[in-house]
Chain A
Amino acid sequence: MMEPPHSAEPAPPANPSPVVEFRNVSIAFEGPPVLEDISFSIAPSETRILLGPAGVGKSVLLKLINGLLRPDEGSIQLFGEEIGAMSEERLFPLRTRTGMVFQEGALFDSLSVRDNVAYQLIQERAPDDEIDRRVHEALTFVELDNTFAFFPGSLSGGMRRRVAIARALIHQPELLLYDSPTGGLDPITSTTIIELIIKERDVFRTPSILVTHRLQDAFTLCTHRFDTELGRMIPLPAGQTDPATTFLMLEEGRLIFNGSLHEILHTDNKFVREFLE
């Protein structure tokens, strides 16, 4: 029998000021609540994996974090500021501190890869040579520097996600939101995307939340680290997991699990166990 996994490094400080904090958040769209009484937080340098079947409200939760949707009830704090009732005008500066990777990439069709990745920098009227340099850096990070002048229409699904990751990273965000970054991709491309996410996590230590319904991706995130010398992800020693990568799980709009890989593997919750099996 497999030994229970234990942490590879000491756990982060017990109560660091969270980057995101949900308190009793609920939201509904003309019908029963999509999310009900959700409470959790994301600590600095923490990666949270949000699991749950399709249609359970995972993407809605992600959009609540950066104010793309407003809660009906409860409190949401982003970087220590209450955003639940914040005006759209005041939310824009906060959103520039986050990076979001959408389900299908959500690249702007009419703009080249360069302009997509540099979108924020262009709006800030950064000099062209600085934009080009930073776009090359971001595209090199996702190993797509050769697509600089391409348009999104000529990219494959996996390449679009990688460009979307480059766009989310270029502004050096303080929080990353990944909305099913591997959804609809083949296993090999999915692994490439997960490797990029692990690389980002281990190189920059940006707090993040990743929505997925693919258990394999979730476990890979917990059991691998990025080796900067080898330039690829490698498995952690047997039985070890990344201590800062933890799980959340939704069922019918309610948060039914909040804990580590070890805890999720040993939970008594029937739904979680069925989901894992």
Chain B
Amino acid sequence: MAIEEIERTAKNIVGTVQDYSLFAQRAVLNLFRPPRYWTDFLLQCNIIGVGSTPIVLLSGFFTGGVLALQSAATLSEFGATAVTGRFVSLTMIRELGPVLTGIMVAGRNASSMASELGSMVVTEQIDAMRALGVDPMRKLVTPRLFACIIMLFFLTILSDAVGITGGAFVTVFMNHQNGTQYFSMAWEHLRYADIVQGLVKPLFSGFIVASLGCFYGMRTTGGTEGVGRSTIDAVVFSSVLIIFGDFLLTQVLLTLFPPI
């Protein structure tokens, strides 16, 4: 019995990975073949980009602030509080900005995509769309995928900027240090490779969020309960994959751009 259970689970996992790969491949290739739904793409850019801005601004600002608080406390033991700006900017740009923004957008948008598409599946709206001669992959999935990739890129830049500002706020108003020194340290030690690292990651995170959100939404079964299950799966798997992907990407990028 146990072996049968293991076999069934393994087959399910392999089957899901295979389905996901084919799904993601179709979603990407659709961009290179007409028809393209630019209006839907712009609408999704608005929903994902503009809609996520408040949570990205807030989470970025407070993360930068916490980083400044924690690092200043530790650095003061070595008399190195002057490098708080460097610490905050590097951490935000290379790691926390991309990862936190990805997770925040996953929480907001992967869930929304999975529940919206899942509801459409269980109420036969997806079948109705297909019956009306419209490909739901092109109309619903591809615009979400590319809107999410592009918007996450810009949201990460925004998050990095407000994170560094949050760090500056704490450094100046709570730790009573010099603001010019903070920004000077934050700027002078930034390298091209740091920026590249920080801006490559959101491209992958955006892909993970939208492709998993849409994938779980489109394979929803089991009515409203199934919609809930798909939503949970989409958020959980996209969040975990963002962190796992970040780990792999960091390894690759550190190899390509070794620290000086």
Contact with A along B32-53 (1 / 0, CB 8 A): 0001000000000000000000
Nearest chain A CB to B134 CB, angstrom units: 6
Query: Are A92 and B134 in contact, CB atoms less than 8 angstroms apart?
Result: yes
| Binary per-residue interface labels of chain A (61-83) against chain B in the complex, 1 for a CB within 8 Å, 0 otherwise | 00100101000000000000000
- Residue of B whose beta carbon sits closest to that of A116: B128
Interface residues on B, range: 10 to 19
Chain A residues with CB under 8 Å of B127's CB are 63, 68, 102, 106
Find A100's partner among B125, B128, B134 (CB 8 Å cutoff). Answer: B128
Central interface residue in B129, B130, B131, B135, by most chain A CB within 10 Å: B131
Q: Which residues of B contact A177 (CB under 8 A)?
A: 131
Are A106's CB and B124's CB within 8 A? yes
Known contacts A102-B124, A106-B128; is-contact A123 B134 (Cβ 8 Å) = yes
User: What residues of chain B lie closer than 8 Å to A178, measured between beta carbons?
Assistant: none
- Cβ–Cβ < 8 Å partners of A104 in chain B: 123-124
Of B123, B124, B128, B135, which is within 8 A of A92 by CB? B135
A95 CB-CB contact with B under 8 Å: yes
Query: Within 8 Å CB of A102, what residues of B?
Result: 124, 127-128, 131
CA distance A98 to B128 in the complex (A): 12
Tell me whether A106 and B125 are in contact (CB under 8 A).
yes
Q: Are A93 and B133 in contact (CB under 8 A)?
A: yes
Q: Does A108 touch B at the CB level, under 8 Å? A: yes
Question: Residue of A at shortest CB range from B35?
Answer: A123
* A189 at the binding interface (Cβ < 8 Å): no
Contact with A along B126-152 (1 / 0, CB 8 A): 011111111100000000000000000
How far is B123's CA from A88's CA once the two chains are assembled, in angstroms? Answer: 21
Beyond the given pairs A102-B127, A119-B132, 13 more chain A to chain B contacts, judged by CB atoms under 8 angstroms and listed by A's residue number, are A66-B131, A68-B131, A88-B130, A92-B134, A92-B135, A93-B133, A96-B132, A106-B127, A107-B128, A108-B128, A109-B125, A123-B133, A123-B134
Question: 24 A–B contact pairs at CB < 8 A?
Answer: A68-B127, A68-B130, A92-B133, A92-B135, A95-B131, A100-B128, A102-B124, A102-B127, A102-B131, A104-B124, A106-B124, A106-B128, A107-B125, A107-B128, A108-B125, A108-B128, A109-B123, A109-B125, A119-B132, A120-B132, A120-B134, A123-B133, A123-B134, A177-B131
B contacts, CB < 8 Å to A: 35, 123-125, 127-135
> 8 closest pairs, A vs B, by CB?
A96-B133, A106-B128, A106-B124, A100-B131, A92-B133, A102-B124, A95-B133, A120-B132
